[in-house]
């Protein structure tokens, strides 16, 4: 269920699937690798950016984002999503070029 546009004025809604596809295209990483338990830096960064953009673009709960990111082998909970968002915000606060360019590229694809 989407939040009311009256609660979030001017918020353009995106589907979580569309955001995941855009992250996959921008990073060149397969959807299965983003959803996996793997901890390679590229996969972790893509996962974190997905969580950040999903929260900012949709306004849905951390739990729902975690459920979307989960696969049959591994489940992501709200704390993981919150940590991911906090990490990306930290990178943005220091103007990390890689994170900024990745987020801009994903936003262009949306």
Quickly count: other Cβ atoms within 10 Å of residue 84's Cβ. 25
Q: Which residues of 38-60 are buried (b: 16+ CB within 10 A; e: fewer)?
A: eeeeebebbbbbbbbbbbebbeb
- 3-state SS assignment for residue 23: helix
Q: How far apart are CA 25 and CA 105, in angstroms?
A: 9
Return the pLDDT at 6.
44
Return the pLDDT at 72.
74
Supply 34's token pair: 């983003």
Residue by residue, pLDDT tens for the chain (110 residues) are 444 444 444 455 578 889 999 999 999 999 999 999 889 999 999 999 999 999 998 888 999 999 888 887 778 899 999 999 999 999 999 999 999 999 999 999 98
Q: What is the CATH number of domain 16-109?
A: 1.10.1750.10
**Predicted TM-score (pTM) of this structure:** 0.84
Return the pLDDT at 13.
57
Sorted by sequence, the CB contacts under 8 Å of residue 84 that are 6+ apart come out as 47, 48, 50, 51, 52
Instruction: Enumerate the domain spans of the chain.
Output: 16-109
Is the Cα torsion angle 11, 13, 14, 16 positive or negative in sign? Answer: positive
Supply 95's token pair: 């103007």
């Amino acid at each position: 269920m989407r939040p009311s546009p009256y609660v979030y004025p001017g918020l353009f809604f995106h589907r979580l699937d569309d955001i995941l596809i855009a992250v996959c295209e921008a990073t060149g990483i397969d959807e299965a690798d983003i959803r996996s338990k793997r901890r390679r830096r590229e996969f972790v960064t893509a996962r974190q950016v997905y969580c950040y953009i999903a929260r900012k673009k949709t306004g849905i709960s951390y739990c729902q984002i975690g459920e979307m990111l989960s696969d049959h082998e591994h489940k992501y909970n709200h704390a993981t999503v919150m940590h991911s968002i906090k990490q990306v915000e930290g990178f943005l606060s220091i103007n990390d070029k890689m994170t900024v360019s990745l987020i801009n590229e994903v936003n262009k694809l949306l």
